[in-house]
Amino acid sequence: MFSRVINNIFKRESTEKVSVEVKGKSEKKSKPTPSRIGELGEYKINIQLDRLPKNSKYLSDVLIENSKAKSGYSQIDHVVFTPYAIFVVETKNYSGIIYGDRSRTKWSVNGKFPMMNPFNQNYGHIQAIKGVLVIHDETQFISMVSFTKRCTFKVNDELRKIQSNDLIVYDTELSEYITRKINVLKLQNSKPIYSTNELQSLYNTIESANILDLHIRDKHVELLNEKDKETIKDENSLSICKTCGKVVSEKVKRYCLANKSCFKGDIYCCDHQRLLKHG
Ligand SMILES: [Zn+2]
């Protein structure tokens, strides 16, 4: 999900009554118009992020330099800082059956459209974050990949078990999984790994590393969309219908992109192309 909206939201600290700066939060809370599946997905995730435990903080849509990434940057949907672990969340808006095996590089949607293993992708994101943070030895990174309820998981059972550090979840259960994972970590660690101040400092570090420059951000998205650069494209993998999230073939994608006057550079499935042309 490549939102241009920069969320910059501090979670309220239970202990101190600080005035919190909330940018773009009020409009996110207003009723969503489900005209764009991406926006709706984002709305649902934001509801989830608002339900996180009080002593956690998060950043959304983080773009940081990463020399190991083909584009030179990594874009991370959500980073959740908690006293016991840092959760790195990748969101996917696909609809369909997700076939995947943790140990395989290629996954698929509906057994038809290949996608990169999202946990391998998120591993790269975690490495990028580690590169920016001065990392505490005991830091636990929990890799989470969130799909919409329009998906069915056919993946290793392991990825659904709270003991795992790689978790696949539905967007509607994101906060529940994070809370449950923290509870498990509380049992495993006698005390929190990070104090409130340390957590704030980690948050600040990523916040300052986050590239807000829209030119760089646009360029990054452009690079990911260039169809000939296979290795880069892999990071972003599949193209989906802007309206319903259905995965479309390269041919359908090219058709939409070639018809700018009709589809304005967006991608639609055949059904929604018809609606746009005739409706
Ligand atoms: Zn569609």
| CA within 13 Å, CB half, 262 | 15
Same domain, yes or no: 185 and 261: no
Same domain, yes or no: 168 and 267: no
Same domain, yes or no: 182 and 264: no
**Cβ density class 112-124: b for 16+ within 10 Å, e for less:** ebebbbbbbbbeb
The residues with which 86 forms a beta bridge, in sequence order, are 81, 141
* Residue 11 included in any domain: no
Nearest to 267 by CA among 236, 232, 235, 230: 236
The rounded Å distance from CA 272 to ligand 1 centre is 5
Output the domain CATH number for residue 123: 3.40.1350.10
The rounded Å distance from CA 120 to ligand 1 centre is 28
129 burial type by CB count under 10 A (0-12 exposed, 13-18 middle, 19+ buried)? buried
Q: What is the pTM of this model?
A: 0.77
Q: How far apart are CA 59 and CA 76, in angstroms?
A: 9
The rounded Å distance from CA 278 to ligand 1 centre is 14
Same domain, yes or no: 254 and 147: no
Per-residue pLDDT tens over the stretch 229-270: 444 444 456 889 988 889 999 899 999 999 999 999 999 999
The rounded Å distance from CA 95 to ligand 1 centre is 10
* Residue 13 included in any domain: no
The rounded Å distance from CA 241 to ligand 1 centre is 5
Same domain, yes or no: 178 and 155: yes
Tell me the pLDDT of the chain (279 aa) as tens digits.
444 433 333 333 333 333 333 333 333 333 434 445 566 667 788 888 888 988 999 999 999 998 888 788 999 999 999 999 999 999 998 899 999 999 999 999 999 999 999 999 999 999 999 999 977 777 789 999 999 999 999 999 999 999 999 999 999 999 999 999 999 999 999 999 999 999 999 999 999 999 999 998 888 877 776 644 444 444 456 889 988 889 999 899 999 999 999 999 999 999 999 998 876
Q: How far apart are CA 49 and CA 41, in angstroms?
A: 12
The rounded Å distance from CA 275 to ligand 1 centre is 9
* Residue 6 included in any domain: no
Q: What domain range includes position 267?
A: 231-278
The rounded Å distance from CA 53 to ligand 1 centre is 36
- Number of domains into which the chain is organized: 2
* Residue 162 included in any domain: yes
Same domain, yes or no: 150 and 269: no
